Homo-oligomer: A and B are copies of this chain.
């Protein structure tokens, strides 16, 4: 059975094509961006947001090691995604991923939060092509993650079903603090 991260990735494997443009809203250690860059290929592009220089530097090193040039890290909060992509004349995207919480192995006080995450989702929904996904991996295991999870699910419950399908995929016989995935599919 698909675990959380493989389930999240499968949605992109099923929908993304070479040449597509995607957003990694939470660059972090860079692994999602690298995965996405392979799906969209050399003619595609990944725009990756992070507010920590440390994340950008480490990830860029990894991208260089993999000889991947189609990832643009952007040192800014993902709530500015619409503005930043507009600036680069990117008017539509084929997918987006969020891996919420903090940068693994780094300062755990620097985390995503529901307000800016929601702003980022709204921005991406304006850019997202129909029949494409925004995939969010949610980590309720730390205190701010639990708050973010609740506010986010409250917001997502209000999205009109005629505009977007939203599914939650969660393991049942794990700790309630275990990560889970929410996927938005634009109609």
Q: How many angstroms between the C-alpha atoms of A182 and B1 in the bound complex?
A: 12
Min CB–CB distance A11 → chain B (angstroms): 8
A71 at interface (Cβ–Cβ under 8 A)?
no
Min CB–CB distance A4 → chain B (angstroms): 9
Please, which residues of chain B bring their CB within 8 A of the CB of A167? Answer: 1-2, 169-172
Query: A1-B185, A183-B1, A185-B1 are contacts. A153–B168 as well, Cβ < 8 Å?
Result: no
A164 touches B169 (CB 8 A): no
Q: How many angstroms between the C-alpha atoms of A159 and B172 in the bound complex?
A: 9
Q: How many residues of A contact B (CB 8 A)?
A: 25
A182 touches B173 (CB 8 A): no
Query: A1-B167, A165-B1, A167-B1 are contacts. A173–B185 as well, Cβ < 8 Å?
Result: no
B172 touches A157 (CB 8 A): yes
Q: Which B residue's beta carbon lies closest to that of A187?
A: B1
Q: A129-169, CB under 8 A of B: which get 1 and which 0?
A: 00001000000000000000000010011111100111111
Q: Which 8 A-B pairs have the closest CB atoms?
A: A1-B185, A166-B172, A1-B165, A166-B173, A159-B173, A156-B172, A168-B170, A168-B172
Binding site for B on A (CB under 8 A): 1-3, 133, 153, 156-161, 164-174, 182-183, 185
Instruction: Given contact pairs A3-B165, A164-B173, enumerate 16 new A-B contacts (beta carbons under 8 Å).
Output: A1-B165, A1-B167, A2-B167, A153-B172, A156-B173, A159-B173, A160-B173, A161-B171, A161-B173, A165-B173, A166-B171, A166-B172, A167-B169, A167-B170, A167-B172, A168-B169
